[in-house]
Amino acid sequence: MAGSILEKGATAPDFDLHCTPDQRLKLHDLKGKRVILAFYPADWSPVCSDQMAVYNEARKLFQQHNAEVIGISVDSKWCHLAFEQDRHLHFPLLADFEPKGEVSRLYGAYNEEEGQSKRALFVIDEQGVIQWSYLSPDGINPGADGILEALETMDNGKH
């Protein structure tokens, strides 16, 4: 279906994006870990600020499931740096800046009308396969419950 996000069972597209002004992060560098990708519309917006704060607080819970959280928006690496420092975030924010929204598009998480990422979540397993995805309305903070449920389901599937 056109305009829908990638779903469970799809291989997560690899990417190579700036995580700081002078460093890049590739998805395949995280093989062997679970990855939570949180696409979001914009740094500094109230809902996005709250959402990223929730994930910052939940990091230790995520790490108990061998999972790392990564935020992705079309904001620049410099905007991310200021936002991370101001909000005391302890996880990477990746700049899907140029070409604008390229990675968001690969995941079906780009809003062409607004020119920004949709609020979409993906939980990716150690082999790079999406195990859970969720598209939230832009104005709603999806929180961490769905992510934690997906991680717990993955844990239970291993036993």
E strand or H helix at 59: helix 46-64
What pTM was estimated for this model as a whole?
A: 0.95
Q: What are phi and psi of 35, to 5 degrees?
A: -125, 130
Which candidate, 64, 88, 86, 82, places its Cα nearest to that of 147?
64
Q: How many structural domains is the chain composed of?
A: 1
Q: Tell me which residue has tokens 């920004």.
A: 116
Active site residues: 48
Specify the CATH number for the domain of residue 23: 3.40.30.10
- The whole-angstrom separation of Cα 138 and Cα 102 is 19
- The two tokens of residue 125 are 């397993």
Q: Which domain holds residue 28?
A: 16-157
- Model confidence pLDDT, tens digit, residues 48-71: 999 999 999 999 999 999 999 999
Average pLDDT over residues 113-129: 96
Is residue 73 a part of any domain in this protein?
yes
